[in-house]
Structures are given as C-alpha cells and as structure tokens.
C-alpha cells in the first residue's frame, strides 16, 4: 500500500482548523490544492470525510475515527524527529561500553561521572565479558565502545587509542601463606597459581611474557570475575597475578604481599571502536577519554 503522507497531513489541518481557507494559509498552498487533496484522500478511503456548512467544514463520523489514528501517527513522527535532534544535541541517548570489571572500577567510573554531569540525558550500559566476546559484540553493533588492554584482535577495521598504562604484579595473602619465598619468576612454579581467565587481555599479555622467557606456569584456578579472583587469593588458595592498582585499592591490602619483577609487562588500556558506527554521544565520550590523557 502506497501511503501519501501529505494527504494525511492536510487532513489533520482540515480537521483541526475546520476550514479549507485556514488550512491553505497554514500550509502555504492554494485552496484548490487543499480541496483536490481532500477529494483524493476520500476517493482512496471510500468515505466522505467532511460536510460543508455555513461556518466552514464539519468532520463526518468516519473522519473522527480516522483522526484518532492519524493524529497518533503524526505525534510519533514528531517524537521521532525530536528524538533525533536530541541525539545530535546530546540531550538524549545511550552509550554501550564493554569493559573488564577491574578496568571499569579503577579507570572508567570517574569519566562516566564527569560525562553524566555534563550530559545528564545520556545513559550508560556497562557490560563485562571476555575480550573476544566484547569485540564480537562491538563488530555486531551491540556495543559502541570497548575499553580493554592490548592485545586486542578484530575481524573488522577498528580504531585503537591508548589511554593509560597499568602495572601488574603477583600477590598473595601473607597471613595465610607464610612460607612463600620467591627470588625469581621461575620460583613461581613451586606454588599454586591463580590467573585471570585465558581469554582476557591481561592473561594474554602474561602468556606472551612467559613464552618469551621459555617458562610455563600452569594455574590451578582461572577466573574471569574480578571479585571472585580477589576472594580466592584472599583466602590463601594461591598466588595471583593482577593489576597492582586494583590490589592496592582493597580494604585488606595490608594482608597482601606484592611481588614485582622489573620486566613484567605493563598493560596499555585502550579504547576500541569502529568509526562508522559511532554515535554523537560515543564520539563525545571518546573525546573526553582522550583529552584527559593528553
């Protein structure tokens, strides 16, 4: 069905103005053009829509029924137009971000707070998953932006902007693991290890480092969840490997012993996005991330 929306627009004005001449003035068209459009719509629908009287025109029963639907439809069109204008002006919209929990806690929350103060109409959706899963969601337009650490691979052409660096360390609960003695990284083979899950970037970077040392370390526990990971180390179930800033933020940090080696790999925290998919809100958020790291 081919719908001529201009005919229904004229119908709305006729119904509300109750006058062909007033409708013509409002729409900047001639009275014969209005009359012709009305006749065309009546022919298409098979109903008479208005009666003429001494005051102008009066809607028929059919016109009153039609008006309910047409006015609702045009209100929706107006709302949609306003919605798009607001998106462009950052009065309304959303940003969907994929980020590992630990990076979100120590890095992202401050920026979300600043952005929400500036643009209170923008809402955020935060998703934490494996690096590979988040990149797949980005490629499928289910996320607008991914914040993670290198290495990050994608099937599509993505933009990567390095934002900051995070130091990593090995650590354990010194109250529960009292006889730990580590002089070199090779000594870690003598202990139970708890590592981030193998699909996370922090783990991939560690594996690359260990491979360069021709050293194989096999964890007894792997976890993708930050809270679970920290709790396992807290309970003395092994030596963990994680971002130093996260460990230092724990309330019971005094219970932990940190082990660092000078050549342990730092993590480059970067924003990853696909330029052609960017919304106005996401672009502004990325600008904020960049400007605060220049």
pLDDT score recorded for residue 1 = 54
Q: What percent of the chain has a predicted confidence (pLDDT) above 90?
A: 40
By the 10 Å C-beta count (0-12 exposed, 13-18 middle, 19+ buried), 153 is classed as exposed
What's the confidence (pLDDT) of residue 53? 86
- Cα pseudo-dihedral 200, 128, 118, 107, rounded to 10: -40
Q: What pLDDT shows up at residue 82?
A: 64
The low-confidence residues of the chain, meaning pLDDT below 70, are: 1-2, 79, 82-83, 85-88, 151, 292-294
pLDDT of residue 234: 93
CA–CA distance, 101 with 96 (Å, rounded to integer): 15
The verdict on whether omega for the bond into residue 13 sits within 30 degrees of 0, i.e. cis, is no
pLDDT tens readout for residues 259-282? 988 888 888 888 889 888 888 888
Alpha carbon distance 116, 32 (integer Å): 53
Model confidence over 58-79: pLDDT tens digits? Answer: 999 999 999 988 888 888 887 6
The reported pLDDT for the residue numbered 86 is 61
């Amino acid at each position: 069905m081919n719908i001529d929306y201009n005919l229904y627009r004229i119908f709305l004005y006729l119904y509300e103005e109750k006058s062909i001449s007033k409708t013509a003035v409002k729409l900047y068209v001639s009275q014969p053009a209005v009359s012709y459009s009305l006749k065309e719509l009546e022919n298409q629908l098979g109903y008479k829509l208005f009666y003429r009287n001494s005051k102008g025109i009066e809607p028929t029963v059919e016109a009153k029924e039609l008006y309910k639907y047409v006015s609702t439809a045009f209100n929706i069109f107006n709302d949609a137009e306003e919605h798009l204008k607001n998106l462009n002006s950052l009065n309304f919209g959303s940003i969907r971000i994929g980020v590992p929990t630990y990076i979100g806690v120590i890095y992202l929350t401050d920026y979300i707070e600043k952005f929400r103060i500036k643009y209170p109409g923008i809402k955020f959706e935060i998703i934490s998953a494996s690096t590979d899963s988040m990149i797949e969601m980005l490629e499928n337009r289910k996320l607008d932006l991914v914040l993670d650490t290198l290495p990050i691979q994608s099937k599509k052409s993505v933009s990567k902007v390095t934002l900051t660096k995070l130091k990593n360390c090995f650590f354990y609960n010194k109250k529960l693991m009292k006889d730990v003695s580590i002089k070199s990284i090779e000594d870690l083979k003598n202990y139970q290890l708890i590592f981030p899950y193998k699909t996370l970037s922090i783990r991939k970077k560690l594996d690359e480092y260990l491979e360069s040392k021709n050293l194989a370390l096999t964890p007894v526990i792997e976890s993708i969840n930050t809270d679970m990971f920290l709790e396992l180390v807290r309970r003395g179930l092994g030596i963990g490997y994680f971002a130093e800033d996260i460990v230092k933020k724990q309330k019971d940090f005094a219970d932990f012993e940190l082990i660092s080696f000078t050549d342990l790999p730092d993590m480059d925290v970067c924003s990853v996005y696909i330029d052609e998919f960017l919304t106005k809100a996401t672009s502004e958020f990325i600008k904020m991330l960049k400007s605060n790291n220049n």
